[in-house]
Amino acid sequence: MHIYLSDQLNITASMTLLKDGIYVLLNVTKDKIIECGQISGGFSNECGQNSLIQITISKIELYGASTPNVHKVLFALEELNIPYNFNVLSLRDGDQFTEEFKKINPNSKVPAIFDRNVEGGLAVFESGNILQYLATHYGNGKYLPNATTDIKGNTQVLGWLYWQMSGLGPTQGNLNHFDKYAPEKIEYALKRYSNELSRLFHVLEKQLADHTFIVADQYTIADMAIYAWIRYIYMHPEFTSQEFPNVFKYIDRVRSIPSVNKVVTEAEEDLKKNPHKPVTDKERKIMFGQNGKSDDDQQSKQ
């Protein structure tokens, strides 16, 4: 796996020549073997912040299910070529409420990750936070511009990431809930969220009028977050390609990215093998009936 040293790392280690131009360094502190490209200026015992290295790292543990917010993280892991284990939780059975999972995410939501490559291990939850973490720690500024060297780009990407987190995701999620999961149809709720989703799609349509991706022409974590949700636009036929031509073209454009296509194709194949079934009253209570007052009614698998 090829990564760049993040700004937080400053590795100083003993150096041994492996072959022409390649040096093996042993980081005594973390006991990891690193192959470092030949450093300009001759021999050195440091890999600078911009040195391309090859390092053996532990797999990141991803906890989730086949949901838009989990797909965001899969897009990032695949695009960044970060090794990972996908621990699939059954949300209908209440796996997210077990005490074991609460140690990873006390909020009992997916996705969440655990990164053993940080000293002592690090649990990260909330999909936008995970994207920001992965891009900052493993992306070398490619998918989230560095705030120190490109404050404008950094702020724009985060602005659209938070736009998805605070607006698009909750609105589309609520519309999906009242349309697909609610025990009865509530016209006011359906109209309320459909109107707001239309407004948000028009905001996106305008932004994409002169942008290949959300921010300029660079695929970033903002695209990962937004595409994960808007690719489900087909669930609501009232939103058409005639009204939102730029949005539909954007959906096709992002889907053509190899890492995205891999994740979506696997999700589509899994859905064919395991099609969604109507939610039962018991499952609805598990997923949507928690009030946090007591653990007595919560599904536990300790």
The whole-angstrom separation of Cα 107 and Cα 290 is 12
> What's the mean pLDDT when you consider all of the chain?
84
pLDDT tens digit string along 164-208? 999 999 999 999 999 999 999 999 999 999 999 999 999 999 999
Residue 138: the pLDDT is: 86
Closest CA to 67 of 59, 75, 55: 75
In the chain the domains, ranked by start, together with CATH numbers, are 2-55 (no CATH), 60-139 (3.40.30.10), 151-261 (1.20.1050.10)
Q: What are phi and psi of 2, to 5 degrees?
A: -105, 125
The DSSP code sequence of 111-153 is -EEEETTSTT-EEEESHHHHHHHHHHHHSTTSSS--TTT-HHH
The whole-angstrom separation of Cα 247 and Cα 139 is 26
Its pTM stands at 0.82
Tokens of 194: 């459909």
Closest CA to 25 of 57, 54, 58, 59: 54
Residue 140: the pLDDT is: 80
Whether 67 has a pLDDT exceeding 70, the answer reads yes
Q: Where residue 47 falls among pLDDT bands split at 50, 70, 90?
A: low
Whether 237 has a pLDDT exceeding 80, the answer reads yes
The whole-angstrom separation of Cα 197 and Cα 255 is 21
Residue 118: the pLDDT is: 85
The whole-angstrom separation of Cα 34 and Cα 180 is 50
pLDDT tens digit string along 80-104? 988 899 999 999 999 999 999 999 9
Mean pLDDT calculated for residue range 138-163: 95
Which residue do the tokens 């698998």 mark?
301
Q: Where residue 153 falls among pLDDT bands split at 50, 70, 90?
A: very high
pLDDT tens digit string along 101-136? 999 999 999 999 999 888 889 999 999 999 999 999
